[in-house]
Amino acid sequence: MPEVEVSREGAVQTITLNRPDKLNAFTQTLHAELHTALEQARDPAVRAVVITGAGRGFSAGQDLTAFGESGDVAGMLRATYHVNVLAIRSLEKPVIAAVNGVCAGAGLSLACACDLRIASDAAFFVPGFVGIGLIPDSGGTFFLQRLLGTPRAFEWMTSNRRLTAPEAHEWGLVSEVVEADAFPVRLAERAAELALGPTSAIAATKRLFDQGATATLEEQLEREAEAQARAARTADFREGVAAFGEKRPPSFSGS
């Protein structure tokens, strides 16, 4: 059985982590298959990506039965988690973490690497790392600090407190909480909505926010000016303005 399943509905590619018996904990195979799936998502025909989990988990992080097998923890992180986190950030389209269930350790880091998080009300979030004497890796310290602010992120990551989906929403960790029964439908709706958007402008927005995290105002103003000049040359911009003038919804092609 594949440890990652990939499906496509229109312009939306869904990547499902598929080790439900182990709450989709990461193995070398899962990392490799996730990487292949993220490579497939580079196809320009894909305009939104959803990452979710099979069964009652999103992901419980590293499979602890296979932890540090090679003895080279840093090397393993670089070769697996880092590659996939960077692949998500470099995808020129929105990536949604559809947090269907428990989300812990590096599973939490992976969800935070995505552009937005939508949670089922059955989901909960657990730092995991501190529970076994580790630090939040795979971008955990980077993304959580930005999403939650240092005091809250630090307090949470050092407490191993279990956060419910409504609490995660209140904290701004997830943008939406949906009743478990309605989750697949709402998710498909939100992903389709994003896939119908002006994909290249959305990709540029994603890149600018990433760059903005460490830029000066002057640098960021310059990047925005250049990106806007490119956006103003796209077919989607022409279509957006035409649709506005004709008082109809725009039909964006993503180009």
Give catalytic residue positions.
Answer: 82, 137
Backbone angles phi, psi at 38, to 5 degrees: -70, -35
**Per CB under 6 A, which of residues 59..118 are in contact with ligand T3D?**
60-65, 67-68, 73, 76-77, 102, 104-106
CA 182, CA 29: separation in Å to the nearest integer? 31
Give the Cα separation of 98 and 245 in Å (integer).
36
Return the number of the residue (61 or 250) whose C-beta is nearest ligand T3D: 61
Minimum gap (Å) between residue 165 Cβ and ligand T3D? 14
Point out which residues pair with 95 in neighbouring strands: 49
Residue 16 identity: T
Interface of this chain with ligand T3D, residues 130 to 189, rule: CB under 6 A: 131-132, 134, 137
How many residues at the interface with ligand T3D, by CB under 6 A?
25
Site string for ligand T3D, 10-49 (x = CB under 6 A): ------------xx-x------------------------
**Shortest Cβ distance from residue 171 to ligand T3D (Å)?**
18
How far does Cα 124 stand from its chain's mean position?
Answer: 16
**Which of 53, 94, 128, 198 touches ligand T3D (CB under 6 A)?**
128
- Six token digits for residue 178: 């949906």
| Residue recorded with tokens 């980077």 | 142
Contact 128, 160 (CB under 8 A): yes
Residues of this chain that interact with ligand T3D (CB under 6 A) are 22-23, 25, 60-65, 67-68, 73, 76-77, 102, 104-106, 126, 128-129, 131-132, 134, 137
